[in-house]
Amino acid sequence: MNDVRLQLSDLCIRTRERPLVEGVQLLARKGEVTAIVGPSGAGKTLTVRAAMGVVEVDACVVSGSLRYPEHGDQDLLGGLGNGTARDRAELARRTAALRGGYVTYSPQAASSALNPGRTVGHQLAIAIGRRSTPPSDLAAAIRQVLEEVDLPGRAAAALPTELSGGQAQRAALAVAIAPRPRVLIADEPETGLDPVLRRLVTERMLAIAREHGVALVLVSHHRETVDRIANHVVQVGCQ
């Protein structure tokens, strides 16, 4: 189990009216890809957000267990599950120190991940600052991260709105990997990209996971991508 970075067991999320997620099991391991699949509205994003300790649905009950084994054996969902705002706030508090460093999140829309008023380099500098050991040469570290996602060094001086759609998606990925996370959650990173760019983005994520020992959790509805790169597949959707 020493290669397990994230363990989510029997996750259930329900409102008073209906279940949203039922009995999801998720194990993310070092250097491997775990794909989350299911139809639209099945709760894929809800699942991975809950895995980070973020639940944004009002009046919902969350049960199951959530563990980050490298940070002890504490069940971060333990003692919660009453469907109150206080419970949701407590879960967010318990996981706050892990988000943005140990676990990072790349949303499907680059516009949600990037600040349109800050250069890519500025945003990368903030993300790199979350590393456990910040680099001595920040400019070199920024160039290295951009290179890992196949962006030129000059992209650091650009605002997100000055990039193409594919470049912006890779810049968002760069921000997510810059802290050198142990777990990277990529939520449909291929959205809006043509087949060539889809393959480029997913191949870069795969290479980064293998090179840095990152546990990659990929939400995707592209079965070809899942079949090609996933080590494990988790089906989400209430039956």
- DSSP-assigned letters across all residues of the chain: -TTEEEEEEEEEEEESS-EEEEEEEEEEETT-EEEEE--TTSSHHHHHHHHTT----TTEEEEEEEE-GGG-S--TTTT--S--HHHHHHHHHHHTTTBTTTEEEE-SSHHHHS-TTS-HHHHHHHHHTTSSS--S-HHHHHHHHHHHTT--GGGGGS-GGGS-HHHHHHHHHHHHHTT--SEEEEESTTTT--HHHHHHHHHHHHHHHHHHT-EEEEE---HHHHHHH-SEEEE----
Structure tokens at 10: 């029997």
For position 239, what pLDDT does the model report?
A: 47
Q: How confident is the model at residue 105 (pLDDT cuts 50, 70, 90)?
A: very high
Task: Cite the residue boundaries of each domain of the chain with CATH code 3.40.50.300.
Answer: 1-102+181-239
pLDDT > 90 fraction of the chain, expressed in percent and rounded: 63
Mean pLDDT of 193-217: 86
Give the whole-angstrom CA distance, residue 181 versus residue 29.
Answer: 13
Report pLDDT for 226: 93
For 71, residues 6+ apart whose C-beta sits below 8 A from its C-beta are: 98, 102
Mean of the per-residue pLDDT values of the chain: 90
What pLDDT, on the 0 to 100 scale, is given for residue 107?
A: 85
Please tell me the pTM assigned to this model: 0.90
Segment 137-149 shows an average pLDDT of 95
pLDDT digits (tens, 9 = 90+) for 40-56: 889 999 999 999 999 98
Task: Indicate the CATH number of 1-102+181-239 among 3.30.1280.10, 3.40.50.720, 3.40.1190.10, 3.40.50.300.
Answer: 3.40.50.300
> Is the predicted pLDDT of residue 238 greater than 60, yes or no?
no
Q: What is the pLDDT of residue 7?
A: 95
pLDDT at 1: 56
* pLDDT score for 231: 93
